[in-house]
Amino acid sequence: MSAEAPRPAEAEPAKAELAEPGAEPATLGLDGKVALVTGATRGVGFAVARKLAAAGAQVILDYAHSEADAERALRDLSGLKGSAIARRADVTSPEQLHALLAEVRERYGRLDIFVHSVASWHPMPAVGARPDGVRADLSAALDPLLHGASAIADLMAYGPGRIVAVSSSGAHRAVPRYVGPGIAKAALESLVGYLAVELAGRRIAVNAVATAKLDKGPDTPDPATAAALAARTPGGRLTTPADVADVVALLCTAEAGWIQGQVITADGGLGLRA
């Protein structure tokens, strides 16, 4: 399922049909696009990889740890419209990140979409926070784009390109014991704006998608809090990884090319409640 496809000729993208969140798209104009998704074998990253592969993209699933998760992810993506391969690389390491990007160049000759969904969380309060844990969370949020932006932009020289980062409502709200990723995501959103300004002239759109607490099914932590937040959400439920993936995919379409440096919130309206 890792067969390569030549770069498609520029064409008028077909209109996507209306569908429920997470439904397979008829087309999003992403057929044949080359997409690299970091942290792509679990959670939001996997949901994004699935959405893009279902839309016809050639997806590289980056992962740092579990071979079993990577094998499961490839099995789950088998049979979709696009293709998928998995590559192990810790994208917070400049050496491993650049080796991964070099392989993308050698294999495909270009990159159309880069989705940054790697994150870490060291639970702690702000008062008495462990600086090493906060630094680790900052590294996960910032290093892939700080170290990789130049090489990623060069791979997108054919244009148009899309860079999308996954953020969190914790960037702007004081979530208990979330100080590390909260600070990290706030810094990530600022970096998205700076990159958007510098890369817009190269036909590369840089944006972020933020969400609140996610419904991870049986793996959702603190079910009581999850239930309370679901009841407060105007949409009537918590956000799922597929909901986030839908918005990421929309930002990758041709029609989203004039959206630059924005943080799109996908939370079912939870953030609107007083």
Cβ atoms of 188 and 137 within 8 Å: the answer is no
User: Which residue shows structure tokens 């700080």?
Assistant: 146
**Phi, psi torsion values for 186, nearest 5 degrees:** -65, -40
Integer Cα distance of 207 and 117 in angstroms: 12
Classify 36 as helix, strand or coil.
Answer: strand
Contacts of 187 (CB under 8 A, 6+ apart): 138, 141, 142
178 is catalytic: yes
Q: Which of 108, 178, 194, 216 is catalytic?
A: 178
Q: Is 185 a catalytic residue?
A: yes
Q: Which residues have CB under 8 Å from 141's CB, separation 6+?
A: 118, 119, 181, 184, 185, 187, 188
CA distances in angstroms from 126 to 113, 120, 135, 217, listed in the order given = 35, 16, 13, 29
What's the rounded Cα separation, in Å, for the pair 59 and 66? 18
List 185, 194, 213, 216, catalytic entry: 185
SS in 3 state form for 67-99? HHHHHHHHHHHCCCCCEEEEEECCCCCHHHHHH
Give the start-end residues of each E strand in the chain. 34-37, 58-63, 83-88, 113-116, 161-168, 204-211, 263-265
Residues pairing with 99 in the sheet: none
CB 57 within 8 A of CB 31: yes
Active-site annotation, residues: 178, 185
